[in-house]
């Protein structure tokens, strides 16, 4: 995500000025304006996550949306975040979408959230946990949005069934180029996805999704050690860039995603009580440089060889979560996830593993505000120098202005 460092006062003046202008507008289609405030206190940092230790501001966003005319809908979402004392402004969404195409088709163009997976097309402030699962942070930079084009189709069937194809620039999913000599494909990412689901009586519903993401720029470049080259320093700088640019830290040519969600509410009334169980599995294949594929046998990696004695050329990860709203104002959740990756280090690959167990308790007195207390136990192997740790986060999320319904 392209970012601009601004002084807080310089940000607030134009925002308040624009709001006043929007409120005074007498146009036929006034934009809906919403502001989401996200603040927190956290006892330690988490790998590949953007929230820092101590008091801070999280994913604060300003969104504008409107029906443009009979044919188009438009939306703009900007995000304010604080990183190392600097306030940063990013553009997360700026798209138009068709409203009147026949036969169940629709087209979206501009910058938008990809429809792969279950969580990715949802805004972060709607999550039941403070951070996205580790598998999202590792492979999609927390949530994957990009400049591109999408064609969607909803089938005229009793069973809900939608499918789509996307093409993106793919800048945030590019593999690292250590020497800056690589020529990247300008349209680098393509995806195919489908989702289908239905109801189970009046109290339950379900949805299953499958997706394939093709990343033309996802392979590593062959490592060439140069005189005076400090590989560890390059690797650390690259991780710092990935950590706060919404770029994926681990990429590959082919990513396969399977997801599911099950929701239950007594008599179908979600206001007072409901249960949501969801999970996703990611497999990121073909990340090695072509030169390295010819030399699978690497020292120190015997424990990660497949049945032919070759180094596995993939990363993978998954999570399962369950959130239960036991009263209109209170909910509790638990989530477990794991990510297994390989990191290139000089002439070999190092195994990495990260496991996260999360518990959350949230108080949400209305649809527009929530206060969340979350405990995370993380443990891993060689994952960005991680040590076993326990982290506690206290977070508030509030919404000002128009607030549309959340996705399923």
Per residue in 265-310, pLDDT (tens digit) is 998 888 889 999 999 999 999 888 766 555 554 444 444 444 344 5
Structural domains of the chain, ranges and CATH numbers in brackets: 96-396 (2.40.160)
Instruction: Indicate the pTM of the whole model.
Output: 0.84
Q: What is the mean pLDDT of residues 250-262?
A: 95
Whole-angstrom distance, CA of residue 231 vs CA of residue 176? 13
- The beta strands (E) that lie in 218-329 are given as 254-264, 274-285, 314-327
State the CB neighbour count (10 A cutoff) for residue 168: 24
The answer to whether 315 touches 341, Cβ cutoff 8 Å, is yes
| Res 361 pLDDT > 90 | yes
| Res 246 pLDDT > 80 | no
Per residue in 98-155, pLDDT (tens digit) is 999 999 999 999 999 999 999 999 999 999 999 999 999 999 999 999 999 999 999 9
Task: Render 332-350 in DSSP notation, one character per residue.
Answer: EEEEEEEEEEEEEETTEEE
385 vs 63, more confident: 63
Tokens of 355: 């496991």
């Amino acid at each position: 995500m392209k970012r601009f460092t601004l002084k807080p006062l310089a940000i607030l003046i134009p925002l308040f000025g624009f709001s006043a202008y929007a409120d005074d507008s007498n146009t036929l289609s006034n934009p809906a304006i919403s502001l989401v405030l996200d603040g927190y206190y956290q006892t330690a940092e988490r790998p590949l996550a953007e929230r820092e230790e101590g008091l801070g501001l999280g994913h604060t966003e300003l969104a504008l949306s409107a029906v443009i005319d009979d044919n188009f809908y438009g939306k703009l979402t900007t995000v304010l975040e604080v990183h190392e004392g600097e306030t940063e402004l990013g553009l997360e969404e700026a798209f138009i979408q068709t409203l009147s195409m026949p036969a169940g088709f629709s087209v979206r163009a501009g910058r938008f959230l990809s429809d792969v997976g279950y969580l990715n097309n949802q805004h972060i402030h709607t999550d039941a946990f403070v951070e996205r699962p580790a598998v999202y942070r590792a492979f999609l930079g927390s949530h994957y949005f990009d400049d591109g084009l999408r064609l969607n189709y909803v089938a005229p069937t009793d069973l809900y069934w939608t499918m789509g194809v996307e093409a993106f620039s793919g800048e945030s999913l590019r593999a690292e180029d250590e020497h800056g000599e690589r020529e990247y494909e300008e349209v680098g990412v393509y995806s195919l996805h489908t989702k289908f689901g239905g109801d189970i009586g009046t109290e339950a519903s379900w949805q299953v999704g499958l997706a394939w993401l093709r990343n033309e720029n996802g392979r590593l470049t062959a490592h060439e050690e140069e005189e005076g080259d400090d590989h560890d320093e390059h690797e650390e700088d690259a991780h710092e860039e990935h950590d706060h640019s919404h770029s994926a830290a681990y990429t590959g040519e082919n990513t396969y995603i399977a997801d599911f969600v099950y929701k239950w509410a007594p008599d179908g009334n979600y206001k007072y009580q409901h249960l949501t169980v969801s999970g996703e599995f990611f497999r990121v294949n073909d990340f090695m440089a072509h030169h390295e594929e010819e030399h699978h046998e690497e020292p120190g990696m015997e424990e990660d060889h497949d049945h032919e004695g070759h180094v596995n050329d993939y990363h993978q990860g998954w999570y399962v979560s369950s959130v239960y709203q036991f009263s209109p104002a209170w909910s509790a959740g638990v989530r477990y996830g794991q990510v297994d990756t390989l990191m290139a280090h000089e002439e070999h690959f190092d195994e990495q593993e990260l496991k996260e167990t999360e518990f959350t308790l949230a108080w949400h007195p209305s649809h527009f505000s929530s206060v969340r207390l979350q405990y995370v136990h993380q443990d891993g192997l060689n994952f960005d120098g991680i040590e076993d740790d326990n982290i506690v986060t206290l977070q508030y999320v509030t919404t000002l202005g128009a607030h549309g319904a959340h996705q399923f």
